[in-house]
Structures are given as C-alpha cells and as structure tokens.
Amino acid sequence: MDFRIRETIRYLGYGKHAVDEQTCRLIAESFEDLELVVRERFIYRIFAIEHCGEYQIRIGTIEMKSKYLIKNMMGCSKAVLFGATLGIEVDRLLQKLAVTDMAKAVIMQACAAARMEELCDRMEAEIKAELPKPEQTMRPRFSPGYGDLSIEYQKEILRVLDASKKIGLTMTRGCMLSPTKSVTAFIGIKDQKDI
Amino acid sequence: MLRECLGKELLFFDGAMGTLLQDQGLNAGEYPENWNITRPEDVIEIHRKYFEAGSNIVLSNTFGANRLKYADGIYELKEIISKGVAYVKEGARLGAARGQKAYAALDIGPTGQLLKPLGSLSFEEAYDIFKEVVIYGEAAGADLIHIETMSDTYEVKAAVLAAKENSSLPVFATMMFDEKGKLLTGGDVASAMALLEGLRVDALGINCGLGPVQMISILEEIKACTALPVIINPNAGLPKQNEKGTYYDVDPDEFAQAMKQIAGKGAAVIGGCCGTTPAHIEKMIAACRDIIPEKGIEPGRTLVSAYGAAVEIGDQPVIIGERINPTGKSRLKQALKEKKLDYILREAITQQDSGAHILDVNVGLPDIDESEMMQEVIRSVQGITSLPLQIDTADTVTLEKAMRIYNGKPMVNSVNGKQESMDTVFPLIKKYGGVVVALTLDEQGIPETAAGRMAITEKIIKEAARYGIDKKNLVIDVLAMTISSEPDSAKVTLQALRSVREELGVRTVLGVSNISFGLPSRPVINANFFTMAMQNGLSAGIINPSSEEMMKSYYGFCALMNYDSNCEEYIRIYGQQPAADQLVPKAVEKSLYAAIEKGLREEAAQITAELLKEEKPLDIIDTHLIPSLDAVGQGFEKGTVFLPQLLMSAEAAKSAFEILKGEMAKAEQSQEMKDRIILATVKGDIHDIGKNIVKVLLENYGFEVIDLGKDVEPEIILQAVETHRAELVGLSALMTTTVVSMEDTIRLLRKEAPGCKVMVGGAVLNQEYADMIDADFYGKDAMQSVHYAQDFFNGNNK
C-alpha cells in the first residue's frame, strides 16, 4: 500500500483494523481532489546554533527556552529552519466538505495531513542532498508545540523566514498557522554520523 | 500632476529596498521599517541612489508598517510612517539631478495575516489598519499611495477602500502572481484586475514573485482586461534558494532588456522589486527612456469575480443559479428565519455542482433583518465557493453593505430605467465596481414593444456613462412575461434581445422561467424558450441549474454553437448515461436501516421518500432512523466502527432527515420544540473539524444545534446563550494557546449565565485539563458528547 494511504489510515484511527472498502475508495478519491487544489510552497534558511545557558538556545536570531529542543539539537552546530504549506485552497476545500459531507471532510483532513508530511519529507531530502559535506546528517524535525517548545515562537520563525510574503504562510493571534495545512520546523545538522 | 502624465509617458519606479538594507546589515527577522528610526541616513541614501538612477516614483520604507507589527510600542507607527515618507522627499531633493518628475509614494504592503473566513483578521479590521497608515502617510506629504505585493483580493479591496475613502491621492495597486498566473489565495489575473478596475484605482498591475520574463504573459492578460495604466515591477528573476535564504540572479543588463520588451508591450509604469538595485533601474531607464506607452484600449469584456477565477459574460452564455431566493421556497424561508446557513450553503454547492457559473443571492423576507442576513450569507457562501455572486436586493442599504464586504467584483440585481433607481444604484456601482442587471422598465412600466425596451436601454446606458460606468458593466434584462396572459410576450422579448445585443452591443440577461407562469409542464416551455433566447443573443440565463431540461438546452446549445470545443463538456456530462430503458430503479429492497448503517446517502434519501408514502415522518425517525444510528454509534464505541464510517452513516441519516424536514415544512407541521445546544470553536482557534463532527452527530440525534463557527469571542457565545435560552454549550479548542480562550469563555458563562452547562473537547484536552478550566464535561469523542447531551436533557445531570 502507498505510504501516504497508510499514513492517512493511521490518522483516521484505524490502528491495525482492516479498512472498509467504502473508506478506501473515499481516500483514493480524496487524494485526487486534493491534488487539484494543493499548491505546495516552502522556504528554508540555515542558521548557526548557539547554546546560551542550561535551558536557552539560539538559532540564528531566535532565542528559545526549551529543554527538548536543546536535546534534539545535541551535537549540532547548525540548524535548518523551514516553513512549508499546501496553500489556502486546501482549507477552502475542507470548509466546503464540512458543509456537504463530514465523512469526506474527516478523510480529506487526514489525506491533507499525510500529504503535508510527504512534502516535509521531500523537502528534507532536498536540503540534505545539498549539504556541503557528505558526512553531515540531519536530526528529526522539531516544531513549535513539540515537548516544551512554546508555539509562541511561531511568530519569530515566520518573521525570520519572511514566510507571509514569500510563501503566503501566516499565523493567527493564537499562533496557529494559517493556511492550516502548514508546518514550520527546525532540523539540526550534525557534522558527523552518530557513532 | 501624476494623474495627468500617467499613461501618457513612461514612468519609472525604484527597485528593491529590503535587498539593499540586507546588504547593509539588516538581520533576518528585523523589520526594515525600524531603520527609519535607527539608521535614517542609510534609508535616505538608498532613495537618493534610485532618484539618481532616474526613478520618478520612489517608495517609502513603510511596506510592513502597520499597527499589527508595531503593537509592542517600542517604536511609534506614526513616526515610522511620517519619517518614511519624509525620507523619500529628502532623497528626491538630493538625488533628482536629472530634473525628472519625482514623486514620493506611501508604500503599503499586506498586513501579514489572512482574512476571515479562513484566517482570523476581519475585513473591517484590515480596513482600519490600512486607514491608519493612509492617514499618517498623506499627512506626511506623500504624492500617491502604492499598495503592493498583495496576494489576497479581499485584503487589497480593504486597502484600496481605505486609501480612497481617507485620502484624495492617486492610488496604485499591484498584485503578486505565481508562474501559473494565480494569486496565493487562488484568484486569477482577470479576477484581480476586474476587482481593482471596479474600485477605480489609478493604475494597476503586478509586482514581486516573478522575474520580468515571466511577467510578459501576465501583462498581456492584464491588457486584455482593462484600459487602465499597467504597472510592472518584477524581481531580478525567479527566486532561488540557498542556505542563506532567497536570492535573485538576473543582472542589470538582462533585466533592462526584458523591461524594454515589457514597455514595448504597453506597460505604463515600470520598476523593480526584490533583488533589483539602482544599477538595474539605471540600465532599465537607459533602455526604455524613449518608449511612449501605447494608449490602453478598452477590451470591453464583462467580468465578474469572487476570489477565484473571474467569470466572463461573453458570447458563450453563462448560467446564474436562482435557487437562493426565498420566493416560493418554504424550506429556504424556514432556513433563513432560523438562520440555518448550512441549508443555504448546500444549495450553493448543489448549484455549483450542477453547472452554475454565478449564484444569485436574495434573502428578502418581511420579518428578518435583510442587511444583516445578506452580509452573513455572502460571507458564508464565499467561505465555501469561489463562484461570483449576484447580490439581489431592492434595499439600497443592504446593497451597499453587501457590495462593501463582498470579496470580488459582484453582479448586482438590479437597476431599472426609473430615475430614482439609477440615482441610488449607479453611485454604488461607481464606488465599489460591479456588473449590474438593468431592467427595461421605467416610470411608465414595461413597454409592450421591443422598440420601447430598446429606448429604455439607451437611456440607462447614457445615464450610466454619466457616472463613468462603461456599458460593459451593464447587463440588460429585456424581461420575459408569461405567454399565458400575453400571447406575444415571448416574441417581443426575443426581438428585444436581438436588438439590444446587435444594435447597442451590450450583454443581456433573463429570468427565463417567468415565460411559462400559469402553464402546465413548465419545463417544456422554459427549456425551449431558453434555447431560443440564447440563439437571439442571451448572455446570461437566471435559471434553476438542477433542472435537467434547462441544462440539456444549455449544453446542447453550447455544443451546437461550438462554444464547447470538440463537444467535450457535452460528452463528459451525457456520454456515460445509460439509455432510459436500461435504467434500473435503485434501492428496491434495501431497508432504511441498512442504508444508514452502510452510509449510503442517496439510497437513504430514496428509501425515505418511498416510506413517506405510507408512514408519518416522526414514525420513520423512531422506527428506522434512530435504531440504525444507535447500532452504528455502539459499534463506534466498541471500536468496530471507525470515525469515517460513523460519519458516513451520519450523513446518510442526514439526507433522510432532509427529506423528512421538507415534508414537515410543506405540511407546516412545526416540530416540537427541540433541545438546543450552542456549539463553537473558541476565540483564536481556526480548526473546526472536531466541532463539526460533534454537530453532525448531535443533529442526527434530534438536537437543534446553533453553530457559531470558529474563532468565536466569549461575548458572542454568551449572547447566543441568552438569545436562544440555551442550557448547554459545547466548546472546542485545538491548542494549549486557545484553551486559554476556552477558560475565559467558561468563566464568563459562569458569571453571566450560571445555569448553563459547558461540555468541552479538542486535541489537547483531557479530563484533568477540563477540570482545571471548570468545564462540566469532557468528551473524548463525538459520541460521548451525544450521550452527555441526551442525559442532560433527560434530566440526569442537570
């Protein structure tokens, strides 16, 4: 089975249960409809990491307090900061489905989430391929809202990336990304492979 | 001054500001506008260089200066803007050595937030934000207002209105398109340009996003929409990325050559955006100095738009869906009275799916606030469909408010040949833009002859011209009266259509089905008349797109007249249909119970319609619907049925309920007072899928749900509790940051509506958290909310 379909089924909460035929068909259909409105965009920059005290870490100009992020960045001297989005038309599609067919809306929501992950993975691979030294490796993505990293940092992240102008990625006053199918994250770059 | 030379001689903008500031040490994430306070000499120096390169119009360093960004109070917004404008003037004094015309433009970029309904910034807030900037900028002596890098039609509308209503300066506006010629928010070139032209900007165009080469085709598209002067401000090539971020690599010579081509193709104002430098601008001016912009030719296209693609009312007729109009529709009347917008939204989508290009919206009912309702319906419909709307009202106040908050260039229904009508409607078209339906009647009534209707058309065209409204923005309704009382009526209408189209060159529209009023088998007459009308020059038919006969006329006509190339559309729609004798009646043996259990919507509706012949609606609910829903619900709780299936069953049940409701509304059998529940996604939260799931299920179980939507202020929730005398509220929140709003809402309800219970749900919540914020109940999933509501209204946990 396709990776994206597996992911979608996982998001829908099926666990190990078999998925009924009707749902399978709707998932396949939803991916087709989704592709018609997705307009993926992404942007990234690479910054130096500075540790400033036990709980403080600075990536580029963003100073953050987070034990989890520090742990994630252990052994890294640089970090990628990226933003990615599937675009606002996905949100419109979801709104429309919420009125016409909630079952489809829920399935589309899961498909879009899987599609978003796919975009992040692809981006990550592209960035990795361009790293100057072959021995460099990348840590797993780490986003505001994970562990103790406050989503309030979303504001500075978007500002540093100039994300609103460059890729149309904004946030609400409650620090939610808008379009909703969007991600921002840090990825630590290690100079050598873990031993 | 500027207005006089605009379009007559080629004018030159400056190039990038941000790029140069970065070269001088502006940090990533630092606001460039801060340098107006911290490093004024660097800002002035950049302006000076651009004037020295020969620019006529230089933008103030105020692109992102607005109250959202300067809310922290470290710098004062007024000072940032005033100084920003003053520095351009200072730059001109130092640098306009060539004696060229020099203008200081107040630069206004986007707010950086998405507007409602998808984002959280309201149109009115956006307007106020821009208004403040405009007032400071004009006071500081700006010569024009330049609104740029806009990627949202709604936001640019707010900005242009703010500029025009609060200053007398010329207003320029440019949008950012991608390589496919689309805005980030989905609009196309024609829709954005139709909107801006309608709002009467002085010049319009495109900037950022693309390099000069990619902008050429967009320039051509713009010229095909409008005669207004066009601005082209490209980046120094397409953006490229490396680890330091975005960069651009078209050099000044290459840039200049491409810009020369652009000027040759009729741009009136040119300059540069990201990545361009004084060297780019200097070379560009050297290459283009002798070019005189060609005069804009009015393409005369009748365009309406929303936020998506524009719709052209052209040679190929378009369909205006007539279903959102309460006249003679009891379900819609009821929906409007009860503010059940979902019903209206589904009507909108059904019409769209049936092939409508534009949707008429009429909410006039004697006992509702038409203006409020119109705005609410427009906002909601625009949240789910990008089709342009036709605002249909006889009330001027409603019309103005609706035109103002409408996202796009609307169609308006209607004006007529009465002086009073023209005196009230034309000023609004002049201000907000729009295509208006003009009825051929006047103080003397409806002329009986085609010549009489022609004469009124001529009068209307002439009067519109006095307001500067081109005839392309008029669509003439020559009126169809029923042939049952006026035997010659169809002939007169057809003759008038042809004359208006051929002799006056204006587009036409008809409410087609009036023709058969009072006759049996109306679709026969309607469909034939529709074809005849299109053949006689009808540009737009106001019809019911769900009527198969009408759509057959339409698709048949388009195929015959070669509007449908290779009959593609026709084959797509009719190619798969089995012949009538092969049609097997569906759902003969299946039970309603099974249809709901399996989540089969159409079958559930069909079987319900069948059952209604023998059983009463309420019996059907009790003996078929509820038992089936219960079985599925139990499966969900046991973990054998999953969320998608639960919802498919819910939707199937809903389609059955729709049939039953229609029946009950027809019989005016008012249902018993239902238990009411208010649902809302709390302030700051724009993720509403969880709330919507709960809503569908609660409605299935017979509760009346008042859905307040997402991002809802605590006060609005309280107000709804009071108005509807609701005893139960359901709140949803996705993130820790928005649980705070949930807590605020609960606190307010405890204080002001102490009898009201609150159930909560959402991704970050758990029982502990729910207790902490003082909720009465935490629902882990939608079924739990249903059970809580059932227990509550049965008095078990009041």
Measure the CA–CA gap between A103 and B648, rounded to whole angstroms: 5
Q: Is residue B145 part of a domain?
A: yes
B224 and B258 in one domain?
yes
Q: Select the residue of A39, A102, A168 nearest B696 (Cβ to Cβ).
A: A102
Task: Let me know whether B63 and B133 are in one domain.
Answer: yes
Section B334-362 average pLDDT = 93
Do B432 and B554 lie in a common domain?
A: yes
CA B102 to chain centre: 37
Mean pLDDT score, B781-788: 92
Buried/exposed B609-629: b ≥16 CB within 10 Å, e otherwise: eebeeeeebeebbeebbbebb
**Shared-domain flag, residues B365 and B218:** no
Domain boundary among B547, B580, B613: B580
**SS3 per-residue string spanning B471-501:** HHHEEEECCCCCCCCCCCHHHHHHHHHHHHH
Does B67 map to a domain?
yes
Q: How many CB atoms lie within 10 A of CB A96?
A: 21
On whether any CB of chain A is under 8 Å from the CB of B342, the answer is yes
B700: β partners: none
Closest chain B CA to residue A97:
B384
CB contact under 8 A, A166 and B239: yes
User: What is the per-residue pLDDT for B566?
Assistant: 93
Q: What share of chain A is helix, strand, coil (3-state, %, to 5)?
A: 45, 25, 30
Structure tokens, B753: 């509506």
Residues B174 and B308 in one domain: no
Map residue B206 onto helix, strand or coil: strand
**B702: in domain:** yes
Whether B470 is in a domain gets the answer yes
The residue written with tokens 């953006």 in the block is B239
Q: Return the amino acid letter for B48.
A: R
Q: Are residues B695 and B765 in the same domain?
A: yes
d(CA B584, CA B578): 10
Which run of H or of E encompasses B217?
Answer: helix B212-223
- Give contacts of A 7-66 with B, CB under 8 A: 12-14, 17, 19-20, 22-23, 26, 39, 43-47, 60-62
Closest CA to B114 of A38, A162, A44, A180: A180
Question: Is B757 within 8 Å of B776 (Cβ atoms)?
Answer: yes
Residues B695 and B657 in one domain: no
Name the DSSP letter for residue A142: B
Please tell me the number of Cα atoms within 13 Å of A68 on its side-chain side.
12
- Name chain B contacts of A164, Cβ cutoff 8 Å: 110, 112-113
B545 within 8 A of B507, measured Cβ to Cβ: no
| B384–A96 C-beta distance less than 8 A | yes
Which amino acid would we find at residue B682? Answer: V
**Residue-wise pLDDT tens digits, B177-221:** 999 999 988 899 999 999 999 999 999 999 999 999 999 999 999
CB atoms A94 and B149 under 8 Å: no
The pair of structure tokens assigned to B543 is 């019809």
> Quick one: DSSP state of residue B210?
S
Looking at residue B703, which CATH number applies to its domain?
A: 3.40.50.280
Short-list B556, B535, B554, CA closest to B543:
B554
Give the pTM.
0.93
Kindly give, in sequence order, each residue whose CB lies less than 8 Å from that of residue A150, ignoring residues fewer than 6 positions away: A64, A65, A66, A144
Backbone angles phi, psi at A184, to 5 degrees: -125, 150
> Does B219 map to a domain?
yes
Measured between CA atoms, how close is A8 to chain B, in angstroms?
12
B710 touches chain A (CB under 8 A): no
Number of domains in chain B: 4
Q: ipTM higher than 0.95? A: no
Rounded CA separation B356/B349 (Å): 9
How far apart CA B252 and CA B457 sit, in angstroms, is 54
Model pLDDT for residues B631-677, shown as the tens digit of each residue: 999 999 888 899 999 999 999 999 999 888 888 777 665 555 678 99
Per-residue pLDDT tens digits for A29-54: 999 999 999 999 999 999 999 988 78
CA-wise closest residue to A188 among A54, A59, A44: A59
Domains of chain A by start residue, with CATH: 3-190 (3.40.109.40)
**CA distances from residue B762 to A7, B119, B735 in whole angstroms, order as listed:** 21, 19, 8
- Evaluate if residue A22 carries a pLDDT over 90: no
Q: Range of B646's domain?
A: 592-664
In the predicted structure, residue B795 carries a pLDDT above the cut 60: yes
**Same-domain pairing of B380 and B471:** yes
Report the C-alpha gap between B54 and B14 in whole angstroms: 8
B chain contacts of residue A91, beta-carbon cutoff 8 Å: 118
pLDDT tens string B487-523: 999 999 999 999 999 999 999 999 999 999 999 999 9
Closest by CA to B137, choosing from B193, B187, B84, B203, is: B84
- Residues in chain A within 8 Å Cβ distance of B685: 174, 176
Decide which of B157 and B245 is more confident. Answer: B157
User: CB-side exposure of B303: number of CA atoms within 13 Å?
Assistant: 28
Tell if the CB–CB gap between A105 and B692 is shorter than 8 Å. yes
Q: Answer yes or no: are the C-beta atoms of A83 and A158 closer than 8 Å.
A: yes
Q: Say if residues B304 and B408 touch (Cβ distance below 8 Å).
A: yes
Which pair of tokens denotes residue B306?
């929303």
**Which residue in the set B109, B186, B651 is minimally distant from A102, CB to CB?**
B651
Indicate if B374 and B420 belong to the same structural domain.
Answer: yes
How would you classify residue B282: left for phi > 0, otherwise alpha for psi between -120 and 50, otherwise beta?
alpha
| Shared-domain flag, residues B185 and B331 | no
In a domain, B293, yes or no: no
Last residue of a domain, one of B580, B603, B636: B580
Q: What is the CATH number of the domain that holds B20?
A: 3.20.20.330
User: What size, in residues, is chain B?
Assistant: 798
Which of B372, B453, B389 shows the shortest CA–CA distance to B416?
B453
Name the average pLDDT for chain B: 93
What is the per-residue pLDDT for B245? 75
Q: Looking at the domain assignment, is residue B175 inside a domain?
A: yes
Same structural domain, B513 and B618: no
Q: Which residues of A167-180 are buried (b: 16+ CB within 10 A; e: fewer)?
A: bbbbbbbbbbbbbb
Query: Which of B125-139, B298-312, B695-709 bottoms out in mean pLDDT, i.e. has the lowest?
Result: B695-709
Here the CATH number for the domain that contains residue B462 is 3.20.20.20
Q: What is the token pair recorded at A25? A: 């068909």
In chain B, which residues have their Cβ closer than 8 Å to the Cβ of A174?
120, 683-686, 735, 737-738, 741
**End-to-end CA separation in angstroms for chain B:** 73
Question: Is the CA virtual torsion B161, B167, B170, B175 positive or negative?
Answer: negative
The whole-angstrom separation of Cα B673 and Cα B704 is: 9
Could you tell me which chain B residue has the CA closest to the CA of A132?
Answer: B243
Residue type, B540: A
- SS3 state of residue B30: coil
Burial environment of residue B563 by CB neighbours within 10 A (0 to 12, 13 to 18, 19 or more): middle
Burial class of residue B421 in the structure, from the number of CB atoms within 10 Å of its CB (0-12 exposed, 13-18 middle, 19+ buried): buried
Interacting residues of A15 by C-beta distance below 8 A, sequence separation 6+:
none
β-strand partners of A78: A48, A189
Which residue pairs, CB below 8 angstroms and at least 24 apart, start in B745-751?
A: B745/B680, B745/B682, B745/B683, B745/B714, B745/B717, B746/B773, B746/B774, B746/B775, B747/B774, B748/B714, B748/B715, B748/B717, B748/B718, B749/B714, B749/B717, B749/B718, B749/B721, B750/B774
Would you say how long chain A is, in residues? 195
Structure tokens at B539: 């540009």
CATH no. for residue B612?
1.10.1240.10
Answer whether residue A102 shows pLDDT above 50. yes
- Of B739 and B261, the one with more pLDDT: B261
The DSSP symbol for A186 reads: E
Cite the beta strand spans of B156-196 per DSSP E.
171-175
Residue B218 lies in a domain: yes
A133 contact residues in B (CB cutoff 8 A): none
Residue of A96, A164, A173 lying closest to B120 (CB–CB): A173
Report the candidate in A176, A169, A99 with the shortest Cα–Cα distance to residue B686. Answer: A176
Structure-derived torsion over alpha carbons of residues B734, B739, B743, B746, reported in degrees to the nearest 10: 0
- Position A193 pLDDT exceeds 70: no
- B126 and B66 assigned to the same domain: yes
Chain-centroid distance, C-alpha B783: 35
3-state helix, strand, coil in chain B (%, to 5): 50, 15, 35
3-class secondary-structure state, position A128:
helix
Contact B110 A165 (CB under 8 A): yes
Model confidence at B568: pLDDT above 80: yes
Asked if the C-beta of A169 comes within 8 angstroms of chain B's C-beta atoms, the answer is no
> CB-CB: which of B346, B645, B735 is closest to A20?
B645
Among residues B634, B664, B694, the one where a domain terminates is B664
- Taking only the tens place, the pLDDT of each residue in B578-623 is 655 555 555 444 799 999 999 998 899 999 999 999 998 888 988 9
Candidates B156, B243, B783: best to mutate against A (most CBs of A within 10 A) is: B243
Kindly report the CA angle at B422 between B417 and B423, in degrees rounded to 5? 140
Q: Read off the tokens for B284.
A: 């560009």
